[in-house]
Structure 1
């Protein structure tokens, strides 16, 4: 008689069934986690990401291909710039770290560059923790540069393996996350939207790094100012800025803590649900629709399934397709039909503030249209 499965093995087996037994899991990265944390109520994204489903392939199989993602040109350009920043043992990167974050420390004349190689993600995570432990125990005054370390973060009961561009260990033993981006800094400032996205991504790394620090005695300080390295103006020369991610870290931590645990979502799904891209579109659509989604227009820039969810949201007349601010103002009115009926006085409680506001807006609109029509008739009569 085989031994009973542990809950962890049972969950892993269930997620493999959802993904497709022959389909390799797609690893979560910091971009996905930042997007997932921005929409914690979306059970669909939580289960798909937790099971390692390739949402881009799934969207294509559903007939709603995604245009979300980085272009090949941007990918190659970003890799070339990162290689330039880290050349010569990371000399320029460490100089920027000292200039922007640690001016009182000794200038970095060199740095320890531990080997973080291992066969799999778990091995690289262990090797990264060992390297950070060694750096924490090393003599103060030395710099350490970890190139593409691997960190683990528990997300809704499932581990996510994250790979920041670099982590710098300062001479005082504190740790800093480094984000290297290929968008330019013009006159010392970059596009605020892109900086914000980079800050949210870096906040995920900071959280994961804090989990490592908690296991050390004494725990090193993880700095909440990350180093953002970008090309200077229109050149390929690197420059940097210190970005405070305390707000993004707090929001991400709070949102990840609110995520429904993956095993709870998986336990509510009917038998036969599977997201393998090679399945017939009808079966895939049934599987996807069996998991509730929380669509918002912001999903278009963060989720590969956004076009599919938008179409379904519009078909259902859900007010979420109008945006979160509008949804918040409408209270218990969840469909466009409910909103229009309330505005026309056909439904809704008159004492409800949302209903009262809608009826007032409808009256003002009717009054404005009547005034405009009267004005048009007067103009026509003068000709």
Structure 2
């Protein structure tokens, strides 16, 4: 898992399918392609290269541009964070944070943090962490989308804030209370490649992400509930190359893990189009939106909703059933009013009616 995957899980903590596949390192995009429902989003190679080039520019010349944006005067300490293996890098990051000199700036370039999620250790790598002279820690997130006239795309800023909230939670495990509840978001200014920065308050994202991640089911519990031999391998042959797995077999393996589809998944999960197709085929109401699903209570299918609305199912004491029946009655009244009463006499042909009107007009003129 990474911070982006954890942020998506925090937005939809009930999806065991994504939790298990991300924890197992499954290529969900390849699985969706094999299932015939490829993802229609993703970062292009051009955007990926542009992002790396912009980050390199921000950190060039001894991090001079980044330090200026942070408000630091002069140079900052930049400890070496290299170590063998992820655990070694995590421990080296802990030591660097502990050894940061008070009264000066310390900049950690791509530190590695660890966070326990659903019984699994997740390693997270923010773009940078700045240690201020007062000893507080600030997550620095570098993105290649522009800030135009002091404003950036709200959806992209929100995604960066949710991702950074995961980094801040991981920093809190090192020393609680030292991580600032805001991030420094560095982006290109206007249509240039010059970096500019904005401070983004992430207190709301921190609270939501912490609460949602605590609700995740342990990965081991999800795996224990799977049938023996379940695999998402696309080529399960002896050598892993020659055999291509049948689509039906792969789909059956995916269906072994419960999903919690919502329309918001379409912009965050590679399997969203497959899950949407399955939800629509089964007539599940979550395909219509998470808020509607919450309001309908025990009515989980469109068939059950229609039956409750027409009085053939459901308890009248159920608020959802009562609201549906009231809505059905109002709809019936509106359709009846729109149809109007039947005409009492046949209408005259258009030409005869016009001649009658002309005669009346002439008589009035006389």
TM-score by length of 1: 0.85
Q: Which of 139, 158, 172 in structure 2 is aligned with 1:177? A: 139
Aligned residue for 2:175, secondary structure, equals helix
Distance 1:377 1:156 in 2: 69
The answer for the alignment partner of 2:10 in structure 1 is 37
Unaligned runs of 5+ in 2: 236-244, 351-366
The CA deviation string for residues 36-70 of structure 1, in whole angstroms up to 9 with x for no partner, is: 11111111111111212111111112221112321
Q: CA deviation at 1:375?
A: 7.8
Distance 1:174 1:339 in 2: 53
Q: Describe the shift of the 1:381–1:373 C-alpha distance in structure 2 as closer, same or farther (beyond 3 A).
A: farther
Q: CA deviation at 1:376?
A: 10
Answer yes or no: is 1:276 the counterpart of 2:233: yes
Q: CA deviation at 1:381?
A: 5.2
Q: How many residues align?
A: 339
Answer yes or no: is 1:150 the counterpart of 2:112: yes
Q: Describe the shift of the 1:381–1:291 C-alpha distance in structure 2 as closer, same or farther (beyond 3 A).
A: farther
Aligned residue for 1:228, secondary structure, equals strand
The CA deviation string for residues 1-40 of structure 1, in whole angstroms up to 9 with x for no partner, is: xxxxxxxxxxxxxxxxxxxxxxxxxxx1111000011111
Instruction: Trace 1:1-383 onto structure 2 (pairs within 5 A).
Output: 28-98=1-71, 107-135=72-100, 138=101, 140-214=102-176, 221-278=178-235, 279-374=245-340
Q: CA deviation at 1:373?
A: 2.1
Distance 1:125 1:148 in 2: 11
Q: Describe the shift of the 1:58–1:376 C-alpha distance in structure 2 as closer, same or farther (beyond 3 A).
A: farther
Q: Describe the shift of the 1:350–1:172 C-alpha distance in structure 2 as closer, same or farther (beyond 3 A).
A: same
Aligned residue for 1:260, secondary structure, equals coil
Q: CA deviation at 1:316?
A: 0.7
Distance 2:165 2:12 in 1: 16
Larger radius of gyration: 2
Q: CA deviation at 1:280?
A: 2.6
Name the structure, 1 or 2, with higher relative contact order (CA <8 Å, separation 6+).
1
Q: Describe the shift of the 1:381–1:78 C-alpha distance in structure 2 as closer, same or farther (beyond 3 A).
A: farther
Aligned residue for 1:223, secondary structure, equals strand
Q: CA deviation at 1:126?
A: 2.0
The CA deviation string for residues 89-147 of structure 1, in whole angstroms up to 9 with x for no partner, is: 1111111112xxxxxxxx42001111122343222222222221221xx2x22211111
Distance 1:249 1:168 in 2: 18
Distance 1:273 1:315 in 2: 24
TM-score by length of 2: 0.89
Aligned residue for 1:153, secondary structure, equals strand
Q: CA deviation at 1:233?
A: 1.4
Unaligned runs of 5+ in 1: 1-27, 99-106, 215-219
Aligned residue for 2:121, secondary structure, equals strand
Distance 2:248 2:342 in 1: 53
Q: CA deviation at 1:159?
A: 0.8
Q: CA deviation at 1:237?
A: 1.1
The CA deviation string for residues 158-182 of structure 1, in whole angstroms up to 9 with x for no partner, is: 1111111111011122110001111
Deviates more, 1:116-125 or 1:67-76: 116-125
Q: CA deviation at 1:81?
A: 1.1
Distance 2:37 2:127 in 1: 32
